[in-house]
Structure 1
Amino acid sequence: MNKLFFFIKGTPTIENNLTGDSWTFFSSLTNCRYLNFLDVSSNQLSGVLPASIGNLSASFQDFYAFGCNIKGPIPAEIGNLSSLGYLLLGRNQLTGFIPSTIGKLKRLQRIDISINKLEGYIPAELCQLSNLGDMYLSDNMLNGSIPVCLGELKSLRNVILDFNKLESTVPLKLWNLNDLLLLNLSHNSLSGNLPSDIGNLNVIVDIDFSWNQFSGNIPSSIGKFQSLVSLSFAHNRFQGSIPPSLGKIINLQSLNLSFNDFSGLIPKSLEELKYLKHLDVSHNRLEGEIPTGGHFANFTAESFMQNYALCSETRQQFPPCGKAHKRSRSKNVVSLMKYILPPIISVILAVTILLIVRRRKSNKDAPQSEISLHLAWRRIYYRELEEATNAFGESNILGSGSFGSVYGGILSDGLSVAVKVFNLQSEQVRAIKSFATESQVLSTIRHRNLIRIIGCCSNTEFKALILEYMPNGSLEKWLYSHNYFLDMLKRINIAIDVALALEYLHHGHTFPIVHCDLKPSNVLLDKDMVAHVSDFGIAKLFDEGESTAQTKTLATIGYMAPEYGTEGIVSTSGDVYSYGVMLLEMYTRKKPTDEMFGEEMSLKSWVSHSLDENRITEVVDTNLLGREDENFSAKEQCVSSILTVAMESLNDYPSERISMREVVARLGKIKAVFLAR
């Protein structure tokens, strides 16, 4: 018996130009009793997969339809193809749910339905595919959790689930897939700790867990990955020290641990990784000397930037370590971590909680003349601030507002700071309350994209917060001042930074914190153009069980959510609305209060109309997007996707707005797609 193979494939050398809804040929194929293989990839067939696909030959084994612009759902009748081994429908426009009937395809070895618009849960029926080796479901809109039963599919070799909306924890059974080669869970909302069982992945080659919400310590059992080539835990909430056992992964070529909360030293064991080509441990709280052996000399300063206290004798970007530091580093750090830090942290937490509880029990509207100094802050006296700011001279003013003024200065130890002085003369009660609120909020938060407080100076006549200095000023300055320009990548990086800050405030605490006054002037940029959200003077720190509150304090006109402006209702959804307005402003370079807007048209409606008409070039900043630009199409698609996210943040109904978790995931996906083009 002969096998029948049928190719209608469009390639650079074989072009069939099949266009339109050309699936009518399926009817004739149902008469081909011995059809085994069908490849229609790279033809613009469009249309919807017909239900008649289920009537193909009983011996039909392989169906390739990559990049055909197929729309609509995957027909349930596909479950009739009992001999199907390969189902490749990636890079289309498929919508709806993954049909549970796929669980009938007992011989299926590979399924690729990535880069579509599928939604809903990953069906548990996939666990019935005992021969499945490759599962590619990336770049869709799948939500819910990863089915626990996937850990029972011992045949799995490649599991690619990135760029979806998956949440919850990773099933423990998944770590029992001893023969797994590739595992990509990046760009989702997965959380929880990694168990020591992860070391069971004996032959794993590539792991990518980046852009999730994983937390806790990395287990030392990760050192068992002798075949691992690439590992990324970037953009999560991992903490603790970097395990020295990473130095045992002898074949490791790429290691990315950036944008987490790791502390302690960079393990010298990493010097032993002779194949390591890429390393990124930036944006953590690491300290001590940067190793110099192995391939460390080949890594740029960007691999180590934005850490707590790294030092180096060979890198000019970092302070020297000093001989005494070298001699006693290991002994002191171990002692500090083991004996000193735990009680100090316990005292700080106890005092902080006590202060918060006492403050909440007091009359919230009563003015306070003094504030207790947070134990982690420096005590800075008025005379030192006066000397640091040239007696608060006009030449040192960085900005001003209703609260008072911000002055740039250099403390006696050479540290550059921003001194936020509250105006007690004009509105004393309001100024004191703003000072107390901002001090309270800043004492409870710590995140790389939030302004960091260094100390305070407080007495009955003078109140100031000493903050880290942001040499590149505000986002507002970069949007509207002459001789300043933010390119496409810088804008999306800033948008992601701000989204991460809000995500932390809304979801990274036991109790949510609402900023209440997000706008470009309150987004500050450090020397590396990393964005930091500032000004918590009217922020709201919720109590346990609270999700909304009312306030009489008005935020900035144009950025307030409708329910905030009319009823004074404060919630995390209000911050989402303000973020959406700011996102529109970043890409249109138009303030919501611009004179072109009024009762008949707002910034929101202006952009919404352009998206509906597919004419975003009419509203986007002309310096950012022009038809003569190189890669115009990629830039246009990127901006269009970002503006769509903004519009989903601006729904008039708070319950209908997307969360900052989803914003972070969506923007990360948009950035990755833009960089890939």
Structure 2
Amino acid sequence: MACQEAFHLIFIIIFPISGGFIFSQIDLLAEACRPYKAVTSFGLCIYRTINSQSPDGVVDAVAHASKLLEGYSGEVPSELVDGYISSEINNLKALIILDLSWNQFSGDIPSSIGSIESLVTLSFAHNNLQGNISQFLGDLRGLESLNLSNNNFSGLIPRSLETLNYLQYFDVSHNRLEGEIPTGGRFGNFTAQSFTQNYALCGVARLQVPPCENQTVKRSNSKHVLLITYIAVPIISAIFIVAIIIWFIRRRKVKKNQLHVEISPLLSWRRVSYQELVQATKDFNEMNLLGDGSFGSVFTGTLSDGLNIAVKKFNLQLENAIKSFDIECEVLSKIRHRNLVQVVSCCSNLDFKALVLEYMPNGSLGKWLYSHNYCLDLVQRLNIGNTFPIVHRDLKPSNVLLDEDMNAHVGDFGISKFFGEGEAFSQTITLATIGYMAPEYGSEGNVSTKGDVYSYGILLLEMFTRKKPTDDMFSKEMSLKDWVSEALQEHAAIEVVAPGLMETEDQHFSEKEECISSVFGLAMECLVILPEERINMTQTVAKLEKIRATFLASISR
């Protein structure tokens, strides 16, 4: 290929912050790709020195990019997954898909992005971006999908987005937005799911937000607001300065008292004494018992300041109970994630060991699947289906807990290990639950994130069929996987779907059927017998997110 000829690089890579991949900072993107402005799709651009000056040299480098990633594991250095999005990204004039989701980028969206007129799909979901949503996004006339959810955007939703006539999917949930939700253009087709969990949005009743104030009321109150601002700003500034001084003084004292750097993750934990736990749980009364686990019991309680907690009290008479306690403390002190049950404190002495956890008021996923008093709709089940590379080794509904907003949190890490994507090790003692356990775990003792992918596939089938893998209807001749697989082959997914989840008279029956069939197909990819032939967890989550986005877009038309 001559250097003067058009050069197209089609290369999509999605990087979760917990995966085992290495990649360059975002501001290298424009420099790396500047000579080839016909790049049509982009997850994150991997840049390395290329000896050849011809486009063929670049093609060879990209073709072998997957080999660069083999063998990497563990936590990606923070300096490679955060920082600002470069304003030079507009050099990619032919970009169609831009997906930077599930990273730690901060700052705001560069205004230059409005000049990439070819963009069709744009996602900055699950980052730390802040500031106002750029009004220049309204210049992306061909945009069909825009996902800005799970960031720290504030201010108003710009009216310029009303001009995006091809926009089919829009999500700004889980931000700090306020003001009136636009009603023009495609905004009449979006549902409440697109705007949930924000600071102070207002608008029409169907979006489940409060009505906006009358503009005349706003003007009459503006003088009062201005006066209060003049008084409050100096006071708040003074308090802030004093707080900073106190923080620095306390920080110095803490550093002097530190014995070893390895205990630093525990400094953020709250100090809770044994007597406080006894008082909070009414001396571990049976009335406060939430349930029993492998190595002890879980009690609910309320601390003196009103904080609701769950106390996991370990039975030290059981073999491996102390080891389980140590493992959970290690795992949960090293990682913080919105989908993990967070530790409030850790209480330990010779005769007593307990974990103090945040309380999950909606209980376990198992309770919602098998109780007649509870019901999960299709979107809720899709939202719950999220995970990441933790070798949990016992992923099942009873270990998935739901908070007050029905967000999923994985708990019970007593037999876990924190791993990078693809890493594996050998385990001689089988501790996982029959039915959810990958074949290689039971036969060879090989444990990796691929084993959790298998368990995740079983979990998906169970969520959407309401059938346990150990149900009496299954045997050696017919498993849960076989049952669903036969239904897929006969195009009869409705025959195995959980009762009430999909009915032929439903308004969006065909959309639901296509969505659930896609979920079942994804589960089958997770349940491939040979671990090396299974997709990884990063790919699994990305595919499930795409299924969810497609379904929401189809029912909002």
Work out whether the TM-score is over 0.5.
yes
Q: 1:523 to 1:384 in 2, by over 3 A?
A: same
Do the aligned residues in 2 keep the contact of 1:194 with 1:217 (CA within 8 Å)? yes
1:634 deviates by 1.6
1:210 maps to 123
For residues 260-299 of structure 1, what are the structure 2 equivalents within 5 Å? Answer: 296=201, 298=203
1:575 deviates by 0.9
1:386 deviates by 1.6
Superposition TM-score, scaled by structure 2 size = 0.68
User: Greater share of helix residues, 1 or 2?
Assistant: 2
Mind listing any 5+ residue stretches in structure 2 that lack a counterpart? 15-28, 48-84, 165-169, 211-230
2:346 to 440, 456, 459: 456
1:637 maps to 514
CA distance in 2, matches of 1:660, 1:652: 16
- The superposition leaves residues 579-635 of structure 1 with CA deviations (integer Å, 9 ceiling, x where unpaired) of 101111111111111122222121111211221222222222132223343322221
1:125 paired with 2:32, answer no
2:494 to 598, 617, 640: 617
Do the aligned residues in 1 keep the contact of 2:422 with 2:536 (CA within 8 Å)? no
1:400 maps to 292
SS in 2 for 1:518: coil
Do the aligned residues in 1 keep the contact of 2:422 with 2:448 (CA within 8 Å)? no
Do the aligned residues in 1 keep the contact of 2:87 with 2:110 (CA within 8 Å)? no
Amino acid corresponding to residue 357 of structure 2 in structure 1: L
CA distance in 2, matches of 1:538, 1:487: 31
Q: 1:616 to 1:373 in 2, by over 3 A?
A: closer
Do the aligned residues in 2 keep the contact of 1:251 with 1:273 (CA within 8 Å)? no
For residues 411-560 of structure 1, what are the structure 2 equivalents within 5 Å? Answer: 411-424=303-316, 426-427=317-318, 429-495=319-385, 499=386, 502-503=387-388, 506=389, 513-542=390-419, 547-560=424-437
SS in 2 for 1:419: strand
SS in 1 for 2:432: coil
1:565 deviates by 1.2
Q: 1:195 to 1:400 in 2, by over 3 A?
A: closer
For residues 522-671 of structure 1, what are the structure 2 equivalents within 5 Å? Answer: 522-542=399-419, 547-671=424-548
1:535 deviates by 0.8
For residues 18-37 of structure 1, what are the structure 2 equivalents within 5 Å? Answer: none
Do the aligned residues in 1 keep the contact of 2:344 with 2:358 (CA within 8 Å)? yes
Do the aligned residues in 2 keep the contact of 1:228 with 1:249 (CA within 8 Å)? no
Do the aligned residues in 1 keep the contact of 2:202 with 2:209 (CA within 8 Å)? no
For residues 295-310 of structure 1, what are the structure 2 equivalents within 5 Å? Answer: 296=201, 298=203
1:258 deviates by 4.3
1:199 deviates by 3.3
Q: 1:281 to 1:328 in 2, by over 3 A?
A: farther
1:210 deviates by 2.6
Amino acid corresponding to residue 388 of structure 1 in structure 2: A
CA distance in 2, matches of 1:622, 1:344: 56
- The superposition leaves residues 320-375 of structure 1 with CA deviations (integer Å, 9 ceiling, x where unpaired) of xxxx9998555555776899489959979x9799437xxxxxxxxxxxxxxx9911
Do the aligned residues in 2 keep the contact of 1:452 with 1:468 (CA within 8 Å)? yes
1:661 deviates by 1.7
Do the aligned residues in 1 keep the contact of 2:400 with 2:411 (CA within 8 Å)? yes
CA distance in 2, matches of 1:143, 1:327: 50
CA distance in 2, matches of 1:174, 1:346: 44
CA distance in 2, matches of 1:401, 1:275: 50
For residues 314-325 of structure 1, what are the structure 2 equivalents within 5 Å? Answer: none
1:355 paired with 2:268, answer no
CA distance in 2, matches of 1:212, 1:578: 26
CA distance in 2, matches of 1:375, 1:516: 28
Superposition TM-score, scaled by structure 1 size = 0.57
Q: Among the aligned pairs, what percent are the same residue?
A: 44
Q: How many pairs are equivalent? A: 465
Amino acid corresponding to residue 618 of structure 1 in structure 2: E
Mind listing any 5+ residue stretches in structure 1 that lack a counterpart? 1-99, 107-123, 128-136, 261-265, 285-289, 305-323, 357-371, 507-512
CA distance in 1, matches of 2:112, 2:332: 42
1:198 maps to 110
Do the aligned residues in 2 keep the contact of 1:211 with 1:668 (CA within 8 Å)? no
Do the aligned residues in 1 keep the contact of 2:399 with 2:412 (CA within 8 Å)? yes
1:310 maps to none
1:398 deviates by 0.9
SS in 1 for 2:373: coil
2:276 maps to 384
Q: Which has the higher contact order (CA 8 A, sep 6+)?
A: 2
Do the aligned residues in 2 keep the contact of 1:451 with 1:467 (CA within 8 Å)? yes
For residues 159-174 of structure 1, what are the structure 2 equivalents within 5 Å? Answer: 166-168=43-45
Do the aligned residues in 1 keep the contact of 2:133 with 2:156 (CA within 8 Å)? no
